[in-house]
Chain A
Amino acid sequence: MSLSLADVEKVARLARLAMNEQEILAAQAQLNNIFGLIAEMQAVDTKGVEPMSHSQDLAQRLREDVVTEADQRAAFQAVAPQVEQGLYLVPQVIE
């Protein structure tokens, strides 16, 4: 299994990571090395094995659907790159 340049470009786009041609080439070589390491697990017979998504086979706790946090809008917006009138500013996307 090896990734083509087109694969790497597609993955970068999906991951929202801007990459130039040189970076794509470097990433291709490194990712293919890493997938070489990962390939080892493909040969393992896992028929009938239940996937393990968490280390404890317990159900996640549920809680009442009620507000538990106090309103800290000002504190949270203080660390934002751009804010105006209590709103996070992002670039215009609709003309």
Chain B
Amino acid sequence: MIHSSLTQLGAALRAKKISSVELTQAYLDRIAQLNPQLNAYITLNPEVSLAQARAADARLAAGKAEALTGIPIAQKDIFCAKGWLTTCGSKMLHNFVSPYDAHVISQFNNAGAINLGKTNMDEFAMGSSNETSHYGPVKNPWDTARVPGGSSGGTAAAVAARLCAAATGTDTGGSIRQPAALCGISGLKPTYGVCSRYGMIAFASSLDQAGPMGRSAEDLALMMNVMAGFDERDSTSLQRDKEDYTRDLNKPLTGLRIGLPKEFFAAGMGADVAKAVEAAIAEYRKLGATIVDISLPNSKLSVPVYYVLAPAEASSNLSRFDGVRYGYRTPEYSDLADMYEKSRAQGFGAEVKRRIMIGTYVLSHGYYDAYYLQAQKIRRLIAQDFTEAYKQCDVIMGPTSPSTAFKLGEKGDDPVQMYLSDIYTIAVNLAGLPGMSIPCGFGANDMPVGLQIIGNYFDEARMLNVAHQYQLATDWHTRAPKAL
């Protein structure tokens, strides 16, 4: 049962073949067995999860079930969940039990889904390997000597290892798509503003977006039906009609125009990744799509632009962690300034401090125009490239990550090398477009490779259709790590 899709689980629950309590317990047992190896979860609360499962069983019995009622979903520890420890992977919030629910969490609760636990993540979502978490690195279930990707690495590992039915992630520069690729699962970053950021601990507010991670595009569509929607508490939440993201899944792909940006197939991509991605493109031709060569000339600037804008926003967002109202406070200090400085120095890890420093510098007097303003202008050029490209094609495809999962510790001492892991994903966040990653084969060391699909604004349903049709024709998304 733990290998079943959300659709299959929903059907089994409604047909009373299994109860939500039994299903939740099955996942909890598997977590107890495998989490010590993988470190995918930060917090479990079996009594709370099982109480939710009992309530879901009552709802199922009363015939009031929705698609996800009774299904155990894991939540990235960036989402505030009332009564749950919510750490954001940081010592700074090691003792923070949230007094309220994030919008996304409320949506799952309203749908009757089970909160199975909070998944590990890079500290404040800053990282590409899940090695910056205060709670230790997550291991990739395909090879525990390797990273799962970041920052939603705990979520990706939990889904891949069948430690939950599906889970949530967040994506600021690729943090859903890159770990999805490295762990061989499917993940979707929606158009900016489609999922509310209320109660999601902020990293870079103009880029952060919540999204689903699961075993197939069909599962992601069901998750999106719950997660997406207008929320007046988030001033950047978009006022749009509720959508059914499953509506286009079964449409044929005949006539679909796929744009291949030449910049995504240039130097830097591993030969094994290129081979798998090219084979996936060939499969799409068989499914009736036509290929269009396109160019995103400014995409090469997306990493530098991101490492100005994201740290700038982070330095502002993280100024609230001062040891006064919540979170970590240093035990010894002489005065208020000393308390702030020591609390923040002891509470934040190295990568977070590095980004706060970058952000503080680029926003400081005399440097604002040269860095922040220039980055915002190039951000527009990057977004305009996509607008031009979508005049010629319907979706854009390419690799999600330049390589398969690398070894733990391999890039730890070199931030610049680490930052380049997100070279193909960042431009999508800067432009606010939806992007997804689906498994498309295996590369070196038999590690999974991800295919990135980028859509035009609000094209999530079409992207899910494009991914689902591929998954009907191939079986990469059904492969599970053998060692577990």
A contact set with B: CB distance below 8 Å: 3, 7-8, 11-12, 14-19, 27, 30-31, 33-34, 36-42, 44, 46, 49-56, 58, 60-61, 63, 72, 75-76, 78-82, 88, 90-91, 93
Contacts and interface: CB of A to CB of B under 8 A. Distances in A.
B376 A52 contact: yes
B95 interface: yes
A14 B360 contact: yes
Contacts of A78: 97, 99
B96 interface: yes
A51 B309 CA distance: 12
Given A51-B377, A55-B193, 15 more contacts: A11-B360, A14-B360, A17-B341, A17-B348, A19-B345, A30-B354, A44-B378, A50-B380, A52-B376, A53-B206, A56-B457, A61-B235, A79-B96, A79-B97, A90-B324
Given A38-B371, A56-B432, A17 B376 contact: no
Contact of B232 (A15, A31, A49, A63): A63
B374 A41 contact: yes
B358 interface: yes
Interface stretch (B40-48, B59-67, B136-144, B332-340): B332-340
Given A46-B377, A88-B324, A91-B333, A79 B206 contact: no
Main secondary structure of the interface of B (DSSP, over half): helix
B344 A55 contact: no
A37 B341 contact: no
Nearest to B306: A38
A31 B226 CA distance: 41
B315 A15 contact: yes
Contact of A46 (B339, B357, B374): B374
Contacts, number: 167
Interface of B: 95-97, 99-100, 192-193, 206-207, 232, 235-236, 238-239, 298, 300-301, 303-305, 307-308, 315, 319, 322-329, 333-342, 344-345, 348, 353-354, 356-361, 364, 370-371, 373-381, 383, 414-416, 419, 429-433, 457
A37 B361 contact: no
Contacts of A31: 354, 357-358, 361
Contacts of B192: 54-56
Given A16-B322, A55-B431, A90-B324, A79 B419 contact: no
B375 to A, nearest CB: 6
Nearest to A33: B416
Nearest to A19: B345
A18 B378 CA distance: 34
A93 B335 contact: yes
A69 to B, nearest CB: 9
A44 B305 CA distance: 11
A44 B379 CA distance: 12
B344 A17 contact: yes
Contact of A81 (B206, B323, B381): B323
B432 to A, nearest CB: 2
A52 B387 CA distance: 14
